[in-house]
Amino acid sequence: MDPQREFCPNLDCPARGQVGLGTIGVHSQKERRSKCTGCGRTFAASRGTPFYRVHSPQGLPLVVLSLLSWGCPVQAVVHTFALDERTVAAWLQRTGQHCQQVHQHLVQQGQVDLQHVQADELWVKLVGQRAWQAMALAVPSRLWLGGVISPQRDTELITALVRHVRACATSLGILVCVDGLATYVTAFLRVFRHPVRTGRPGRPRLEVEPDLLIGQVVKRSAQRRVVSTSQRVVRGTAAAIGAVLDATATGTGIHTAYIERLNATFRSHLTPLVRRGRASAHTVATLDAGMWLVGTSYNVCWSHASLRLEAPAGSGRKWLERTPAMAAGLTDHPWTLRDLLHYGCPCLPGWLPSGVAARPSMSTSLQCRWQPDPGSVWSYPYVQRQRLIVNLGVHGIHRYWKSGFATELNDAFINLIVEHAGTMLSPMTTIGLFYVRANQWDFDIISQWTNSAEGAVHVEWTRKFWSAAEPFTTGAVYVNHLAEDEPGRVHAAYGDNYERLVSVKRSTTLAICFG
């Protein structure tokens, strides 16, 4: 147990989801429980991992999941360890969700220098149906950037994959090599855009990244065999594409060899992807969980021969083995599967109303595409739910906010929010997005602090943030969220009903006074 790597999962705790604050201590080594000094609650060390409330013999789930990640069929695992098939499926589902969270926390944080990306899709046969699995790879580091599974090979599938790529990138000026599917070009040109701010009110114009290069490999087939290939420069010039290939040492021409090799790796490690086998997955959810398990293990656990470096003289070794995550600068040593499955992601789930789909283009700093762990979700009595904000009314807290309605959460708006979230001056400050009626979001910037001498600094930060965010709003505002220095926005709060409300107010007041 390492308290420095743990965080409090209590939703009522002000330190929830934050690592390294010194508020976590060991409560019981025997029971493997930790305690948060901030809220006084204890929690299991396995909280937030696939092993939470798993009562099987110690080490058995780890062995089973290791076998599954190396291509062992579920039927063989069930027969060997005398397990119920539903138990193995449940372990795989929870592990897939956990690995997806780890991937989003480590990889999809906009910290990877991609330079050269390749993408492709796999046709997968399921029981009674078929699906497409699209994946992307950062070629210089061999880092798997994520995958998406869909029943159709359509624009939605490819666009979702491209959003995964953008979530990882530090720069949008990259080289993209794909096959001849035209949807890739459309998706990259749509997703790899940034706002052009002119200082004028209204939504800024989106412009495609000028340094984005796209090349395609067009394959021609006859009788289910590739008979010829040709290279096509879609965006940029052949010289610019060649310069990137030379700088990254990833080839001499447009190609998709690296993503094809990754496809072969997945087919050998994920049983449902075997071309002719008898262990097909029954559901897309099973295939999705296996994809995240294999993909995340590939990134952080498996060393890649082409990434190894010569060991220093006198070290007793010839090579220093590296994983793709190490080559990308995300980790400093190869993880074991135990390290991966016990890694706690310091992020807590957001909330979306029933019937509102999560936007896959949101940055993971704002939204974690999170599947609920049965051990970390529970129902609240109404009175207890109301008490969650009791601490916000403590005497001595100073508060200043700005608010407005937004009808669309586009990538530029989300990136702006994430950027300013990293510059917050107080841990009590809140940036909120609340889905309300009429298909719109209530966007709030609520600065909170306790030292009265710091008021001017917090107010200035809030005003600068609002000045940058206001073009993304409609101009309307919830009347209860108006600040004291915004009398001019009262009309915007009531909209077209303002004049009628004034008229009714005056007539009612006169009737009360003189009736």
Q: Which residues of 70-88 are buried (b: 16+ CB within 10 A; e: fewer)?
A: ebbbbeebbeeeebeeebb
The three-state DSSP-derived secondary structure of 335-379 is: CCHHHHHCCCCCCCCCCCCCCCCCCCCCCCCCCCCCCCCCCCCCC
End-to-end CA distance of the chain: 75
Whether 345 and 48 have beta carbons less than 8 Å apart is answered as yes
Instruction: Tell me what pLDDT residue 346 has.
Output: 66
Among the ranges given (257-261, 319-323, 428-432), the one the predictor scored with the smallest mean pLDDT: 428-432
Beta bridge partners of 150: 132
The three-state DSSP-derived secondary structure of 368-428 is: CCCCCCCCCCCCCCHHHHHHHHHHHHCCCCEEEEEEEEECCCCHHHHHHHHHHHCCCCCCC
Specify whether the backbone of 314 is left (phi greater than 0), alpha (psi in -120 to 50) or beta.
left
Instruction: Tell me what pLDDT residue 23 has.
Output: 81
Among the ranges given (86-100, 211-225, 278-292, 372-386), the one the predictor scored with the smallest mean pLDDT: 372-386
Instruction: Tell me what pLDDT residue 393 has.
Output: 55
Question: How long, in residues, is the chain?
Answer: 515
Instruction: Tell me what pLDDT residue 239 has.
Output: 94
Please report, as a single letter, which amino acid is at residue 267. Answer: R
Judged by DSSP in three states, 148 sits in: strand
Instruction: Tell me what pLDDT residue 368 has.
Output: 37
Please give the Cα distance from 470 to 455 (Å, whole number). Answer: 22
pLDDT tens for 25-68 read 888 887 778 888 888 888 888 887 888 888 887 689 999 999 99
In this predicted structure, the answer to whether residue 404 has a pLDDT above a threshold of 60 is yes
Please give the Cα distance from 173 to 247 (Å, whole number). Answer: 14
In this predicted structure, the answer to whether residue 376 has a pLDDT above a threshold of 60 is no
What secondary structure letter does DSSP report for 161?
H
In this predicted structure, the answer to whether residue 364 has a pLDDT above a threshold of 60 is no
CB-based burial of residue 90 (10 Å sphere; 0-12 exposed, 13-18 middle, 19+ buried)? Answer: middle
pLDDT tens for 91-149 read 999 999 999 989 998 999 888 999 999 999 999 988 888 899 999 999 999 999 999 99
Please report, as a single letter, which amino acid is at residue 176. Answer: V
Please give the Cα distance from 262 to 193 (Å, whole number). Answer: 28
